[in-house]
Amino acid sequence: MNTLRLALSLTAASLWYRRRALSLIGLTLTLSITLMLGIQYLRTEVRQSFTSTISGTDLIVGARSGQLNLLLYTVFHIGDATNNIRWSTYQALQNDARIDWLIPISLGDSYRGFRVVSTNDQFLARFRYGNDQPLSLTQGAWFNDLFDVVLGADVARRLGHQLDEQIVLSHGGGRTSFANHKDLPFRVSGILKPTGTPVDQAVYISLDAMEAMHVGWESGIALPGRVLSPTQARARDYTPTAITAVFLGLNQPIQTFAVQRELNQSTQEPLSAILPGVALSELWRMMGQFEQALLGISAFVVAISLIGLIAVFLTLQAQRQQEIAVLRATGASPGLIASLYSLECVGLSLASCLLALLLGMLGILALGPWLLEHYSLKIRLRPLRVDEWALLGAVPLAALAVSLLPAFATWRTGKQQSFQKPGL
């Protein structure tokens, strides 16, 4: 017990005495641990953020295509629909007793690079993300009028739009469109609360508005004289002929697979029904390969730093012969002297781990808002998970393992220590 206290106090004194020589390698170690821990932390956070993009929706139904494609264009607004589904199909779903709710969506137009999603009030009422969180508005109200538009949080923030501003939507996707629906401007009626999901990066109008905008656009461009003016548009009654996809929730989730199979085998129309959770995890598996590799690389960086640490200790060892001679002559055992090396290595790595934790915390606090703003990534400060602690704990253990090299060399030297002269 006494020996351990002595060893610890000698270790602390020695590390402090050599702080200048050791500070650089300590910094290297700190940065590499920060990198590794940061990647592991972000992995968890990003996966969390990713898999909580949509929740509560049992099935997404669209025209026949692969499940990833359907997921990408309905949820992430990436890519285009292969085809539409008929309005009659939607009506048939509405009459299905097993189905609790439906959110129809219709895609195709854009607003300065952001997707236009035309839907109905079910979107606000039924759509869930994260841990079953509903959507809500920070300002204004959900669209009520034919020419009302609701903006996602990102859209409002980046373009600096306020309530009641007039905006003109564009035909088709893309940031710059040559075909604008300039005859039918929209009024911003509401702005959604940030969610950290693709919901923030779209604008929302009614299904009727989508139909109204496209009267006279049947050939893909506006035919002069055929497009409607706002007053004409209000006078008409719209029933869509087709929509892009439907999000649906069932009364009893246990029926999900049955309904899915039925829809996939529908003879009315070629449909695809997907389970968003399954599709999301498949998508994550594809991207997960990359972050696995990243974690592996960062572990290598830590290993290289530890090797650097040992190189520094082995270099210092040459200067420490005298100290070893003094300690041996005073009666310290070779084991005690060897343990100094291991303790110093572990001590330095523990200090680095602590600094890395602090650095990571500060980094998240500093970069969190920026990440949310630019990448819609919600990175919150949370206690480390077990696997992250394990990763962090592996560092001092690895340091202990590599320190056995100089410790053993010192033990041998100490064992053969002669009076005053360094060992053989």
- For position 418 contacting another protein by CB under 8 A, the verdict is yes
Part of the chain binding another protein (CB under 8 A), chosen from 12-20, 95-103, 111-119, 221-229: 12-20
Query: For strand 186-192 and strand 99-105, is the pairing parallel, antiparallel, or unpaired?
Result: unpaired
d(CA 118, CA 150): 10
d(CA 4, CA 6): 5
Part of the chain binding another protein (CB under 8 A), chosen from 154-162, 211-219, 323-331, 365-373: 323-331
Helix (H), strand (E) counts: the chain: 13, 15
Among 145, 323, 373, 387, binds another protein (CB under 8 A): 323
Nearer to another protein, 3 or 268 (CB): 3
Part of the chain binding another protein (CB under 8 A), chosen from 24-32, 56-64, 245-253, 320-328: 320-328
Query: For strand 148-151 and strand 186-192, is the pairing parallel, antiparallel, or unpaired?
Result: parallel
Site of tokens 């509903």: 134
E strand map for 133-179: 133-134, 137-140, 148-151, 166-167
Order across the sheet with 99-105: list the strands: 99-105, 245-250, 59-63, 271-274
State how far the alpha carbon of 204 is from the alpha carbons of 20, 114, 143, 175, 190, in Å.
60, 10, 8, 17, 10
Q: Are residues 11 and 403 in contact, defined by beta-carbon separation less than 8 angstroms?
A: no
Part of the chain binding another protein (CB under 8 A), chosen from 139-147, 178-186, 285-293, 327-335: 327-335
- For position 326 contacting another protein by CB under 8 A, the verdict is yes
Please list the alpha-helical segments (H only) found in 76-120.
87-94
Q: Are residues 63 and 81 in contact, defined by beta-carbon separation less than 8 angstroms?
A: yes
Nearer to another protein, 112 or 415 (CB): 415
Shortest Cβ 420–another protein spacing (Å): 5
Name residues contacting another protein, limited to 13-32 (CB under 8 A): 13-14, 16-18
Among 4, 6, 311, 362, binds another protein (CB under 8 A): 6
Backbone angles phi, psi at 161, to 5 degrees: -80, 145
Nearer to another protein, 215 or 351 (CB): 351
- For position 352 contacting another protein by CB under 8 A, the verdict is no
Part of the chain binding another protein (CB under 8 A), chosen from 44-52, 109-117, 187-195, 416-424: 416-424
Shortest Cβ 23–another protein spacing (Å): 15
Nearer to another protein, 335 or 363 (CB): 335
Catalog residues that contact another protein under the rule CB under 8 A: 2, 6, 10, 13-14, 16-18, 322-323, 325-333, 415-421, 424
